[in-house]
Amino acid sequence: MRKNIVAGNWKMNKTLDEGLALAKDVNELLKGTDLKCDVILGTPFIHLASVAKVVDPSKIAISAQNCADKEAGAYTGEVSAAMVKSTGASYVILGHSERRAYYHETPEILKTKVQLALKNGLKVIFCVGEVLEEREQGVYFDVVKAQIESSLFELTADEFAHIVLAYEPVWAIGTGKTATPAQAQEMHAFIRKTVADKYGAEVADNTTILYGGSANPGNAKELFANPDVDGGLIGGASLKPNDFKAVIDAFN
Ligand code: PGA
Q: Which positions ≥6 away from 143 have C-beta within 8 Å? A: 130, 134
Consecutive 10-residue runs of the chain (252 residues): their mean pLDDT? 97 98 98 96 98 98 98 98 98 98 98 98 98 96 98 98 98 91 98 98 98 97 98 98 98 91
- Ligand 1 near 235 CB (within 6 A): yes
* Cα gap 148→170, rounded to integer Å: 16
Q: Is residue 96 among the annotated active site residues? A: yes
* Burial of 132 (C-beta count, 10 Å sphere; 0-12/13-18/19+): middle
Instruction: Note the pLDDT of residue 177.
Output: 87
73 alpha carbon – ligand 1 mean position (Å): 32
- Annotated active-site residue in 98, 130, 134, 168: 168
Q: Is residue 108 among the annotated active site residues? A: no
- Ligand 1 near 213 CB (within 6 A): yes
- Ligand 1 near 174 CB (within 6 A): yes
Instruction: Note the pLDDT of residue 140.
Output: 98
Which residue puts its alpha carbon closest to atom 3 of ligand 1? 235
Instruction: Note the pLDDT of residue 176.
Output: 87
Q: Residue 29: in which H helix or E strand, if any?
A: helix 16-30
Q: Is residue 67 within 8 Å of residue 117, measured between CB atoms?
A: yes
Report all structural domains of the chain as residue ranges with CATH numbers, in order of start. 5-249 (3.20.20.70)
Q: Is residue 113 within 8 Å of residue 67, measured between CB atoms?
A: yes
74 alpha carbon – ligand 1 mean position (Å): 32
Q: Which of 238, 203, 209 is nearest to 226 (CA)?
A: 209
- Annotated active-site residue in 47, 96, 130, 188: 96
Distances (CA, A) of 172 to 49, 153, 219: 31, 26, 13
62 alpha carbon – ligand 1 mean position (Å): 17
Which residue puts its alpha carbon closest to atom 9 of ligand 1? 235
- Ligand 1 near 155 CB (within 6 A): no
Q: What is the CA radius of gyration of the chain?
A: 17
* Cα gap 8→54, rounded to integer Å: 16
Which residue puts its alpha carbon closest to atom 6 of ligand 1? 235
Instruction: Note the pLDDT of residue 183.
Output: 97
